[in-house]
Amino acid sequence: MARSVAVPNRKTVEPAEDYGFFGPDSVTWRVWSYPTSLTVGFQRAVVVEELDPALVASVDETHAIWDRPRTRYDRTLRYFALVAFGDSRATSKAADVLVKVHSKAVGIEPLSGGQYDANDPRSQLWIHLTAWHSILYAYERYGPGKLSEQDELRYWQECAVAAELQTCAGEHIPRNRAEVRQYFEEMRPQLVGSQVAKDTMNHLLQADVMLPTLPAVFRPATKAMAFALRKATVATMPRWMRELGGIRQSRAMDALVRPLARITFALTHLNREAELRLLGVLSPSTVSVVAPVLLGVPPRNPEVLTPAQARERYGYTEPATAHLELRARQAERALAGKRRSEEGIRESESILGSTA
């Protein structure tokens, strides 16, 4: 049986320490708190990012999404939720430990023979932008609709703030729609629909592999939810991307799923506790991060920090230069064919959730 998560209410939820890096007036909170975001948006992100040969090589080497897909999904979703909604202390700690976790993901990409490194700024920017772009796209397609020009500009500027929590190079971070489009156009020739990428993308589109084991009576509903989520996610992907991933879906299905998804998400959004129950099924460890935002519980200290201010306050190093000795040791061991250290993995469990 799956671990059950008690859904908090306004009286029982634990308030955050502060507003983190955005807060209630941000476009990030408006977009990311809509139920399209941590469902279709997030699934789209983890599927699309597998087209990057370096990333899919790293994912395939660990085999985590095949051996324990629910755990991997839960931990990754919790991290992105922390960036959007978490308080500055918890999120800064998560960002720092993630550099240690990623230090293990170093190796040789089989198609090019080049080295991949999960902490590489280019890899981190690809992961970051596919997530923020997918979240916004799902919100626009199945949620309230397109943002105003001014709000979209604010969204991408907030995306650039969030990128400071990863090893992304500041000068390469897009800050408006035109720059985001240019980034994806430049990335497109580098994307590859290898067999590993196709297998991984199709595996991640099976939402039921992310769901807990439920009693037999609930399994038909689980299958139906997973089927609907897959169809809604595929409908957001351009044709060229589907062809690379070996994914088939008719234009008729694309058209049919849109109004059904919009109605479903709108009804879900009417009840914030229902949203939390859904999230508790998809990602139990993320509930405590999102609950104060969805339930309107103010933090103990109503302030918004920048990532640089938080690092100074809590004593963390900028991600790009954090844990360089560990990263060098891990790379040396990986390239010599030796087992890499588990340093950071166990430490991350208290922050991002269990790896079991």
**Model pLDDT for residues 217-273, shown as the tens digit of each residue:** 767 877 888 899 999 999 999 999 999 999 999 999 999 999 999 999 999 999 998
Grade residue 63 by pLDDT with cuts at 50, 70 and 90. Answer: confident
Nearest to 38, CA basis, from 291, 297, 305: 291
Residue 72's pLDDT is 87
> Which parts of the chain are beta strand (E)?
106-108, 115-117
pLDDT for 178 equals 94
Nearest of 232, 10, 220 to residue 134 by alpha carbon: 232
Mean pLDDT for 61-74 is 82
Provide the pLDDT for residue 1: 36
Mean pLDDT over the full length of the chain:
92
pLDDT at 5 over 60: yes
Three-class secondary structure assignment of 185-216: HHHHHHCCCCHHHHHHHHHHCCHHHHCCCCCH
- Residue 95: alpha-carbon gap to chain centroid: 13
User: Which two three-digit tokens encode residue 334?
Assistant: 């990986």
Q: Which amino acid is at 116?
A: Y
What's the rounded mean pLDDT across residues 67-87?
92
Q: Grade residue 128 by pLDDT with cuts at 50, 70 and 90.
A: very high
**b/e map 283-300, b = 16+ CB within 10 Å:** bbbbbbbbbbbbbebebe
Mean pLDDT of 78-101: 97
Give SS3 for 55. Answer: helix
Assess whether pLDDT exceeds 90 at residue 95: yes
Residue 8 has pLDDT above 90, yes or no: no
pTM of the model: 0.94
Encode pLDDT of 152-177 as tens digits: 999 999 999 999 999 998 899 999 99
N-terminal to C-terminal alpha carbon distance within the chain: 15
How far apart, in whole angstroms, are the C-alpha atoms of residue 68 and residue 80? 19
